[in-house]
Amino acid sequence: MQKILKIYKDDVKNIVTHYGALVVIIALCIIPSLYAWFNIKASWDPYDPAATSKIKIGVVNEDKGTIFNDKDLNVGDKVVDELKNNSAMGWQFVTEEKAKEQIEKGKYYAYILIPSDFSENITSILSNDIKEGEIIYTVNEKINAIAPKLTDKGATGVQENVNKTVVETVSKVIFSIANEVGVEIENQLPKIENILSKLKEFQSKFSDINETIDMGDEGAKRVKDIVKEVQEGIPNIENILTESKDLNKKINDFLDSSKNGINNVSPTVKNDLSIISGLASSINTSATELKDAILNGHEKAPEMIDSINEKINDTINLINPLIKVLESLNRISPGKPLTPLIQALQGVQGKLGDMIKNLEVIKTNISNGEKPNVDIMNKVITLSNDVKGIIDNLYGNFDSEILPKINDIFGGGIEISNNISGVLDEANEKIPDLEKMLDIAYSLAEKGSDGIAYAKTMLPKIEGAINEIVTKVEEANENEVLKEIIDILKSDAKSRSNFLTNPVTIKENKLFPMKNYGSAMSPFYTVLSLWVGMLLLVSILTTEAHGEYNSIEVYFGKYLLFLTISVIQGLIVCLGDLFILRVYCVGPISFILACAFISSVFSIIVYTLSSVAGNVGKVIGIILLVLQIAGSGGTFPVQLTPHFFQAINPYLPFTYAISLVRETVGGIVRSVLITDILVLIIFVVISIILGVVLKKPINKMSENFVESFKESGVGEH
């Protein structure tokens, strides 16, 4: 032990007493930190609008516009107006010729062309020949590897903005028209009430007639007066029936004309089913990927579960309002034709709820360090398959099964209106008979008591005819189907339009939020700089000691110097991250301790390679650096790398060192932290064992090789 400490003390003394060595050591302590700091700062916020606005994208608008709802509409102009207020990209509003010239020269990264028939196509939703609007996106991918991905995002944003504008415009027109007509029909309802009131007033006269007849001959004169009063009211009844028929015809005309308008909502319902189908497919794919990740023991499984749960909740939130709309339509039809569709969607909700419960069980098992039950995982996949199958079936059969049922609902309203019209026609046809019977009654009343008996047999028939008319009109007034239709049409057009434009609002919940991209990348660049720092040390400082020492004494004695410098390197890097760059970090003390610990781990690994295998060991250290940059998952998920890097990932020190630093920066999960520390300690133990056991025999075997390399004159002396 004394000889080991002597080697360390001699090294420290030589550094302090030789200014050249001191300058080199100070440089070796600082250089790795510069590597980390420059890279972290450079990637601090690469997607900031101030930066992306310098990426030029041409915008060519050739849209000629169209006539929509008796008004001139140019959606292309609206898109351009929106882009002029958008600073996410460097939009350049030019002609197609200039856009092609600039993109070929590499001045523009991409350009977007809005065709001349763009407005005409996207407003075709209100016609029988529906066409999708098309935006032509051209990108020059040879200029830069990342820029095409950013411009793709810009083009996607344009598409989303256009889709939202179209849905909002069309749905607002449809619901506004329906709202106006619904209010107009409701305003006509008091006329039906007035008609019914007058009919009931005439109906009440018959009690007086019957009572008068029972009074015998003395009431003959009174009978004549009352009959005459009823006769005088016959023209009023005819006017009332005519007015009723006119009103019913207006209602019938409205239902017939609004049928096509309401049917135009169907594409939006179909679009909702399409969105739900896309979410179901994504959930199904994610469930399969989750099973693979769990079987492979991947540490990101809990995050994958949270992602799936988020997609499931988005799907449920989209299905809920869709079911409410379908239930409203279903209530106004006696046959309830939309019940199978509603039940299918409710069944999907139930299966999605079961998936969430099973996923929570799996997540709990993982959190407790237990291996999840494969049967539960299979059940999740089965449920996702069922959901996908149901939604795909509904979407695939929409035009053939669901759309006709929606049309039939309003067709039923027309049928009821036609029935009412028939009743009124029938009542109107009875007026001449009623007039004849009243004439007979009046003549009998003039004949006095001799005709009273006959009059008593005729008046009940007259009263029955009036009662039948009152009953039919009352039924028309109290019809619930018409009231349901009015309620739907009167509902807030703006709210319904806003719902169709934004049927789902995504509420983001960040488990371990990172304030900026640079802070998120700091674990990778910090760990990378510590390994680079150790490579610099073994490249410049010797691992051999002068004097009478055995291999073990040399191994540990020289290592103490490397350990000291590497820890200093780690402290400089992490303190600079915190106080110079101000990297976001939830646990600063833990971050500093983690960097010091990782520095010591890397120092023993790289030092052992160099001490045992000399220059070959240094080469191995460089090779490990290259493999770990790609295979550690420090910059992007290792699942996206080739199979080779996925296979070596669990055996690389970077994998656990980066994970350890991430825990201290973003938020500590105790089980992950402990696992990372234990695995890194295992690397330390393996390195020490290899150094103690192999240093002497390998150094002896390589003496001739090293000497020959020095004599060649191409290497350092």
CATH number at residue 221: 1.20.120
From 345, 380, 410, the end of a domain falls on 410
Same domain flag for 352 and 416: no
pLDDT at 177 over 60: no
pLDDT of the residue at 570: 94
pLDDT of the residue at 145: 56
What is the Cα–Cα distance from 476 to 482, expressed in whole angstroms? Answer: 9
Looking at the chain, the whole-number percentage of residues with pLDDT higher than 70 is 61
Please tell me what DSSP assigns to residue 632. S
Residue 205 lies inside a defined structural domain of this protein: yes
pLDDT of the residue at 388: 82
Tell me the sheet residues that pair with 71. 68
pLDDT at 484 over 60: no
Q: What is the H or E stretch that residue 460 is in?
A: helix 449-477
The arithmetic mean of pLDDT across residues 395-408, rounded, is 75
Which CATH number goes with the domain that contains 69?
3.40.1710.10
pLDDT at 169 over 50: no
Structural domain for 238, as ranges: 190-264+411-490
The arithmetic mean of pLDDT across residues 597-621, rounded, is 91
Per residue in 59-118, pLDDT tens? 999 999 888 767 788 888 888 887 788 776 788 999 999 999 998 888 888 888 989 988
> 214 falls in which pLDDT band (50, 70, 90)?
low
Total number of domains in the chain: 4
Per residue in 131-167, pLDDT tens? 777 888 888 777 665 556 555 555 555 555 545 544 4
pLDDT at 189 over 60: no
Same domain flag for 275 and 196: no
The arithmetic mean of pLDDT across residues 454-472, rounded, is 65
Q: Which residue has the higher pLDDT, 369 or 607?
A: 607
pLDDT at 273 over 60: yes
Q: Count how many Cα atoms sit within 13 Å of the Cα of residue 181 in the half-sphere of its side chain.
A: 22
What is the Cα–Cα distance from 100 to 140, expressed in whole angstroms? Answer: 10
Q: What is the H or E stretch that residue 700 is in?
A: helix 670-701
Same domain flag for 137 and 160: yes
Number of Cβ atoms within 10 Å of the Cβ of 243:
15
The arithmetic mean of pLDDT across residues 246-259, rounded, is 55
pLDDT at 261 over 50: no
Tell me the sheet residues that pair with 114. 61
Residue 10 lies inside a defined structural domain of this protein: no
Q: Count how many Cα atoms sit within 13 Å of the Cα of residue 391 in the half-sphere of its side chain.
A: 30
Please tell me what DSSP assigns to residue 109. S
Same domain flag for 532 and 560: yes
What is the Cα–Cα distance from 521 to 658, expressed in whole angstroms? Answer: 10
453 Cβ contact partners less than 8 Å away, ≥ 6 residues apart = none
What is the Cα–Cα distance from 501 to 56, expressed in whole angstroms? Answer: 30
pLDDT at 574 over 70: yes
pLDDT of the residue at 514: 75
pLDDT at 287 over 50: yes
Q: By C-alpha distance, which of 178, 166, 403 is closest to 269? A: 403
Same domain flag for 633 and 568: yes
pLDDT of the residue at 3: 84
pLDDT of the residue at 599: 95
35-49, 132-146, 337-351, 594-608, range with greatest mean pLDDT: 594-608
Residue 36 lies inside a defined structural domain of this protein: no
Instruction: Report the range of poorest mean pLDDT among 290-299, 305-314, 602-611.
Output: 290-299
578 Cβ contact partners less than 8 Å away, ≥ 6 residues apart = 585, 588, 591, 592
pLDDT of the residue at 692: 86
pLDDT of the residue at 222: 61
pLDDT of the residue at 413: 52
Please tell me what DSSP assigns to residue 88. S
Q: Which residue has the higher pLDDT, 218 or 380?
A: 380
pLDDT at 40 over 70: yes
Same domain flag for 424 and 358: no
Same domain flag for 570 and 678: yes
pLDDT at 300 over 80: no
Which CATH number goes with the domain that contains 350?
1.20.120.230
What is the Cα–Cα distance from 598 to 591, expressed in whole angstroms? Answer: 10
pLDDT of the residue at 170: 45
Q: Which residue has the higher pLDDT, 639 or 690?
A: 690
Same domain flag for 588 and 607: yes
Strands 71-73 and 136-139 turn out to be: unpaired
pLDDT of the residue at 192: 58
Helices (H), 105-146: 118-122
Q: Which residue has the higher pLDDT, 711 or 644?
A: 644
435 Cβ contact partners less than 8 Å away, ≥ 6 residues apart = 231, 234
Token match 């849209």: residue? 63
Contact 391, 280 (CB under 8 A): yes
Strands 71-73 and 56-61 turn out to be: unpaired
Residue 392 lies inside a defined structural domain of this protein: yes
pTM for the predicted model, two decimal places: 0.53
128-142, 332-346, 653-667, range with greatest mean pLDDT: 653-667
Same domain flag for 527 and 668: yes
The average confidence (pLDDT) of the chain is 75
φ/ψ of residue 73, rounded to 5 = -135, 130
What is the Cα–Cα distance from 270 to 323, expressed in whole angstroms? Answer: 13
Per residue in 415-427, pLDDT tens? 555 555 555 566 5
Same domain flag for 212 and 283: no
SS (H, E, C) 634-647: CCCCHHHCCHHHHH
From 467, 490, 513, the end of a domain falls on 490
From 410, 441, 459, the end of a domain falls on 410
Residue 41 lies inside a defined structural domain of this protein: no
- Length of the chain as a residue count: 717
Same domain flag for 461 and 553: no
In angstroms, what CA-CA distances link 706 with 454, 475, 701? Answer: 142, 110, 10
pLDDT of the residue at 160: 55
pLDDT of the residue at 448: 57
The arithmetic mean of pLDDT across residues 378-393, rounded, is 85
3-state secondary structure of 681: helix
In angstroms, what CA-CA distances link 661 with 173, 347, 535, 568, 634? Answer: 56, 45, 20, 17, 11
pLDDT of the residue at 162: 47
Same domain flag for 275 and 259: no
Q: Which residue has the higher pLDDT, 424 or 13?
A: 13
Q: By C-alpha distance, which of 1, 470, 447 is closest to 204? A: 470
> 664 falls in which pLDDT band (50, 70, 90)?
very high
Residue 114 lies inside a defined structural domain of this protein: yes
Per residue in 610-635, pLDDT tens? 888 888 888 999 999 999 988 888 87
Token match 């002896």: residue? 700
What is the Cα–Cα distance from 35 to 577, expressed in whole angstroms? Answer: 12
Tell me the sheet residues that pair with 477. none
Residue 534 lies inside a defined structural domain of this protein: yes
Two tokens, residue 362: 């799996």
Residue 587 lies inside a defined structural domain of this protein: yes
Number of Cβ atoms within 10 Å of the Cβ of 324:
10
Q: By C-alpha distance, which of 384, 307, 393 is closest to 344? A: 393
